[in-house]
Amino acid sequence: MSNRENLFHICTFGNLSRMPFFPFTAMGPCGMLTRKLLWIGNPFFSRCLDSCGWQTAFYNFTEMQTFGWSDLTALAGFEPDVVVVADKSMPPFVLGMEDFPCLTVFYSVDSHIHSWFPLYAQGFDLCLVSLKDHVSHFHGPFLTEERVIWSPPYAPDTARPKAAGEDSGVSGGNQADGHAEDGKTWDCLFVGTVNENLPKRTAFLKALSGKMPGLHAQSGSFFELFPKGRVLLNQCEHGDLNFRVFEALGMGGCLVTPRIGHGLTDIFTEGVHLALYEPNDVDDAFRQIQDLLRSPEIRASMARAGLAVIDAEHRAHHRASAFTSVLNSLWKDRAAIVAARRSKAAAIRETCLKLPYLLWAYQTDAPVLKEAWLNAAKGVTETRKNGSA
């Protein structure tokens, strides 16, 4: 893999706006060309950082590999003021961050799957956590409460309702209820993966389809599929507040989703923005869906209200602005923050990082990755240009 694969630079100017989920209100001016940021991992809202005045470099990859400071600076083409390590639901791929000479950020999304995330996060200056009920899990000896920030999921800026008469490119489907004139294809639509690795979802959808022939489940582009469902159905295999909630509402859909935690009802109001059912309760979900199918007016009102909430506060550019606001609040103290972390680097490794690194080294069959994690546990991360499987 080329060091420049999936890498590009953006250097631009823009204004900042506030977003209420970050407990900081100071909005100092952007540093423009003097503030450099490297984002590695899942892109998430990184593409919106150009409008926040950063000089940015992005790097994503598919093959598991590890990166130290010299790898990252080579990829970026500069020494960043901020490094963001964004969750790829992979083993730890950035090593030595506890001793990086710049501000560091870990962005956790899949903490419901990866129990080692809170330990790994102790090596960073700041942590964004997607799942609200897990925020306290990340408070630790080296990452204090004020440095762990709830950053909820969001809808992409480009995920918007299709204009009237615009074809989604999907044909066929169920129109048994006589609603063909509304331009929809399916009474109820679930978009996502359904397989043996998701047993609760698979069983739930199978049971619901037995009660409701108009249910259609399909993987694919939600941009193309969501506009074709009268009611959009969500299921949360692990009880997590997933991005599908925000994507469905951002596309102007009428959504039925499980009643879960993680801030769902802090953001949305049941019966106004969306409909809720008890998790994996087939009868409850069926009742909610049927009630909505019987009332086009309620469906339309709920879809409008849900879309309005997304447009007001829950799109990618909102998260980018809020993230920049947090960094602005830390900027004048950044040298002291970095120095404090680096002075504790050995303790961070011994107390928090050593265990997950050794476990990953024990589990892997890839010699290069094994060596990288074993070295990282000892504080050696620059012995190779780049470790890959």
Which residue range is the domain that position 134 belongs to? 8-154+316-388
The encoded tokens of residue 314 equal 């829950």
The encoded tokens of residue 369 equal 């990755």
- Are 295 and 350 in a shared domain? no
Lowest mean pLDDT across 177-186, 330-339, 340-349: 177-186
**pLDDT band at 183; cut points 50, 70, 90:** confident
- Are 293 and 210 in a shared domain? yes
- Are 74 and 201 in a shared domain? no
> What is residue 34's predicted lDDT score, i.e. its pLDDT?
66
CA 203 to chain CA mean position, Å: 26
**pLDDT band at 335; cut points 50, 70, 90:** very high
**Could you tell me if residue 174 is inside a domain?**
no
- Are 283 and 320 in a shared domain? no
CB 262 within 8 A of CB 241: yes
In whole angstroms, give the CA distance from residue 86 to residue 225.
27
**Could you tell me if residue 171 is inside a domain?**
no
- Are 114 and 186 in a shared domain? no
Q: What CATH number did the domain enclosing 90 receive?
A: 3.40.50
Got the DSSP string for 194-228?
-STT-HHHHHHHHHHHHH-TTEEEE-S-HHHHGGG
- Owner of token pair 């869906």: 289
The encoded tokens of residue 49 equal 């950082």
Long-range contacts made by residues 280-286, C-beta under 8 angstroms, separation at least 24?
280/200, 280/203, 280/204, 280/235, 282/204, 282/207, 282/208, 282/211, 285/204, 285/208, 285/233, 285/256, 286/208, 286/211, 286/212
The encoded tokens of residue 359 equal 């476990």
Measure Cα distances from 178 to 184, 185, 213, 370 in Å: 11, 11, 14, 60
The pLDDT of 369-374, averaged and rounded, is 98
**Could you tell me if residue 70 is inside a domain?**
yes
**pLDDT band at 389; cut points 50, 70, 90:** low
Structurally, how many domains does the chain consist of?
2
The encoded tokens of residue 71 equal 């790898």
The pLDDT of 169-191, averaged and rounded, is 65
Measure Cα distances from 146 to 88, 129, 330, 352 in Å: 24, 12, 11, 19
Angle 282-293/296-313 helices, nearest 10 degrees? 100
Residue 174 confidence (pLDDT) above 70: no
The pLDDT of 117-143, averaged and rounded, is 98
Measure Cα distances from 229 to 170, 185, 370 in Å: 11, 6, 47
The encoded tokens of residue 312 equal 């007001």
Domain limit, last residue, from 313, 333, 366: 313
Per-residue pLDDT reduced to its tens digit, 218-260:
999 999 999 999 999 999 999 999 999 999 999 999 999 999 9
**Could you tell me if residue 217 is inside a domain?**
yes
**Could you tell me if residue 173 is inside a domain?**
no
The pLDDT of 276-301, averaged and rounded, is 98
> What is residue 52's predicted lDDT score, i.e. its pLDDT?
93
Lowest mean pLDDT across 44-53, 166-175, 340-349, 365-374: 166-175
Burial of 140 (0-12, 13-18, 19+ CB in 10 A): middle
**Could you tell me if residue 24 is inside a domain?**
yes
The pLDDT of 258-279, averaged and rounded, is 98
**Could you tell me if residue 161 is inside a domain?**
no
- Are 307 and 371 in a shared domain? no
- Are 382 and 295 in a shared domain? no
> What is residue 172's predicted lDDT score, i.e. its pLDDT?
39
- Are 185 and 294 in a shared domain? yes
The pLDDT of 48-69, averaged and rounded, is 95
Domain limit, last residue, from 313, 339, 366: 313
- Are 148 and 12 in a shared domain? yes
**Could you tell me if residue 233 is inside a domain?**
yes
Higher pLDDT, 34 or 318: 318
- Are 345 and 292 in a shared domain? no
Q: What CATH number did the domain enclosing 237 receive?
A: 3.40.50.2000
- Are 244 and 378 in a shared domain? no
The encoded tokens of residue 317 equal 């550019």
Domain limit, last residue, from 274, 296, 313: 313
Higher pLDDT, 18 or 127: 127
- Are 74 and 55 in a shared domain? yes
The pLDDT of 337-355, averaged and rounded, is 98
Beta strand 65-66 with 82-86: parallel, antiparallel or unpaired?
A: unpaired
